[in-house]
C-alpha cells in the first residue's frame, strides 16, 4: 500500500492585503520543517483496493497498424512531480521509481527537483512562487539530454504535482508530454484549508494567522504555494484579480491564452484520479475539474461548466478524441496500493512503437502474464 498524506493545515478568513512582519516571515521558514505538514510516500501493508471502474471509463487500445514502418518498441521517459511536503529523495519516491523501472523495463524516470537537497526540495513544496518554479522545471526538463531527445515523455503528478505538471504542458511542453496522469490533484483549486488538529499546534496556528492577514496579498500569493491554487467560487473577483497561478493556467481571465488550450488538446491521454473518501482536498471533486458550491453543496461537473463548453484549456477537444479519462480510487487522499500504481504504469506508461522518423505509433501490449499483476 502506498500512502501519500497531504495535510494542508491552514485556513483563510480575510482577503485583505497586509504587511508581513519579520516575525511572521520567520514563521514561514519554520513551517518547512513542520511534522504536521506532509505529503510523503510511504510503503504500508496492503489494506485498500480499487473501486471497480466500468470498462467504458477505460481507454481502448488501438491495434498496431500492419503498415507501421521500421520501428523500435520502447517505453517513453517518465517525469514524476511529488506532492506537498515530499522530496525527490524520499524513500517512498525512490520506491515508486523502482516499480516504474521494473514494470516497464528500460523506462528512464526523472523526478522533479526544486531544491539542491531533500530538505530544500521539501521546503519548496510549501514556499515559493509557483510560476517561477514551473519555469525552473521547464528549463530542468529541456536541459536533460535524455528527455530533450525523446520524441515525447509521460508525466505522473501526485496531489499538487498534478496541476503543476499540467501547467508545464500548457506553458512549455518541451519535451512534449504524451500521457499525463494525476492523482488527487487540485485542478479546480481548493476552496478551504484544513483546520489545525490541535489548538496547541503552534506552527499550524501561525500558518492560519499568516493567511488571515491576507490570502490575496501579494506577499502570500508569491510565497505560500497552497495559497496560489486557492479558489473560492463565492469570491471569484478577488481570485481573478490576485491569483498568482491557478486563474492563469485555468484560463479564467477575460484574455485567454490559446497556447494553453492547444497544448492540452495535443495530449494523447489526460487521466485524472479522484479519491472517493478524500477529506484532505476541499473539495475532492477538484480532481475532476468539478465546481463545488459550499452553500448549496451542489457539484457542477466539468461537462456543464463554461470552461469546458467554451474549451478554455482544450479539455473539450481532448475529450472529443477520447483522450480525457476520469477514474476513481477508493480511500482517503493519496492512499493507494502498489497494485493500483502498477496498473497505472502498465495502462498509460507502457512501451510504444517509435518509427525511424521519431513518430509514435500505438501503445504496445507488453505480453505480461496474470502473475505480473500481483
State yes or no: is 357 an active-site residue: no
d(C-alpha 109, C-alpha 93), whole Å? 11
Assess whether 7 carries a catalytic annotation.
Answer: no
CA distance 65 to 196: 56
Selecting among 7, 82, 187, 333, the annotated active-site residue is 333
Q: How many CB atoms lie within 10 A of CB 98?
A: 11
On the 0-12 / 13-18 / 19+ scale of CB atoms within 10 A, 195 is exposed
How far apart CA 163 and CA 195 sit, in angstroms, is 23
Residue from 141, 143, 131 nearest 171 by CA: 131
Rg over CA atoms, the chain: 20
| Cβ neighbours, 10 Å, residue 321 | 10
49, 339 Cβ separation under 8 angstroms: yes
- Give the number of other CB atoms < 10 A from CB of residue 129: 17
Annotated catalytic residue within 34, 123, 159, 185: 159
Q: Is 108 exposed, middle or buried (0-12, 13-18, 19+ CB in 10 A)?
A: middle
As given in the structure block, the three cell numbers for residue 374 are 500481483
In three-state secondary structure terms, 153 is: strand
Cα distance between residue 288 and residue 273, in whole Å: 8
Angle at the Cα of 261 from the Cα atoms of 189 and 58, rounded to 5 degrees: 75
333 is catalytic: yes
- Residue among 86, 278, 327, 363 flagged as catalytic: 278
CA angle (349 as vertex; 343, 355 as ends), nearest 5: 145
Q: In the structure grid, which three cell numbers stand for residue 350, read together?
A: 507502457
Active centre residues (catalytic): 159, 278, 333
Amino acid at each position: 500500500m502506498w500512502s501519500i498524506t497531504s495535510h494542508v493545515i491552514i485556513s483563510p478568513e480575510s482577503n485583505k492585503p497586509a504587511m508581513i512582519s519579520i516575525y511572521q516571515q520567520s514563521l514561514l521558514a519554520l513551517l518547512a520543517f513542520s511534522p504536521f505538514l506532509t505529503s510523503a510516500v510511504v510503503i504500508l501493508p496492503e489494506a485498500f483496493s480499487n473501486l471497480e471502474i466500468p470498462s467504458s471509463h477505460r481507454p481502448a487500445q488501438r491495434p498496431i497498424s500492419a503498415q507501421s514502418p521500421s520501428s523500435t518498441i520502447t517505453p517513453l521517459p517518465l517525469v514524476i512531480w511529488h506532492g506537498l511536503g515530499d522530496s525527490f529523495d524520499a524513500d517512498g519516491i525512490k520506491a515508486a521509481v523502482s516499480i516504474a523501472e521494473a514494470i516497464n523495463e528500460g523506462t528512464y524516470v526523472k523526478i522533479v527537483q526544486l531544491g539542491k537537497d531533500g530538505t530544500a526540495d521539501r521546503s519548496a513544496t510549501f514556499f515559493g512562487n509557483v510560476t517561477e518554479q514551473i519555469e525552473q522545471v521547464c528549463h530542468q526538463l529541456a536541459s536533460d539530454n535524455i528527455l530533450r531527445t525523446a520524441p515525447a515523455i509521460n508525466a505522473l503528478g501526485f496531489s499538487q504535482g498534478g496541476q503543476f505538471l499540467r501547467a508545464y504542458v500548457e506553458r512549455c511542453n518541451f519535451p512534449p508530454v504524451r500521457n499525463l496522469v494525476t492523482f488527487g490533484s487540485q485542478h479546480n483549486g481548493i476552496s478551504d484549508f484544513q483546520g489545525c488538529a490541535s489548538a496547541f499546534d503552534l506552527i499550524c496556528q501561525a500558518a492560519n494567522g499568516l493567511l488571515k492577514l491576507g490570502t490575496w496579498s501579494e506577499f502570500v500569493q508569491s510565497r505560500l504555494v497552497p495559497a496560489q491554487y486557492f479558489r473560492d467560487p463565492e469570491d471569484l473577483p478577488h481570485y481573478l484579480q490576485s491569483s498568482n497561478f491557478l486563474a492563469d493556467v485555468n484560463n479564467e481571465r477575460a484574455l485567454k491564452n490559446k497556447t494553453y488550450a492547444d497544448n492540452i488538446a495535443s495530449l494523447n491521454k489526460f487521466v485524472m484520479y479522484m479519491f472517493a473518501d478524500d477529506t484532505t482536498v476541499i473539495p475532492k471533486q477538484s480532481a475532476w475539474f468539478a465546481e463545488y458550491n459550499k452553500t448549496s453543496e451542489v457539484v457542477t461537473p466539468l461537462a456543464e461548466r463554461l470552461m469546458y463548453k467554451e474549451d478554455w484549456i482544450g479539455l473539450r477537444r481532448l475529450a472529443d478524441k477520447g483522450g480525457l479519462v476520469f477514474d476513481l480510487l477508493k480511500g482517503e487522499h493519496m492512499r493507494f496500493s502498489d497494485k493500483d500504481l502498477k496498473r497505472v504504469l502498465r495502462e498509460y506508461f507502457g512501451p510504444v512503437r517509435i518509427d525511424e522518423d521519431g513518430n509514435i505509433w500505438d501503445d504496445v501490449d507488453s505480453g505480461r502474464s496474470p502473475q505480473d499483476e500481483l
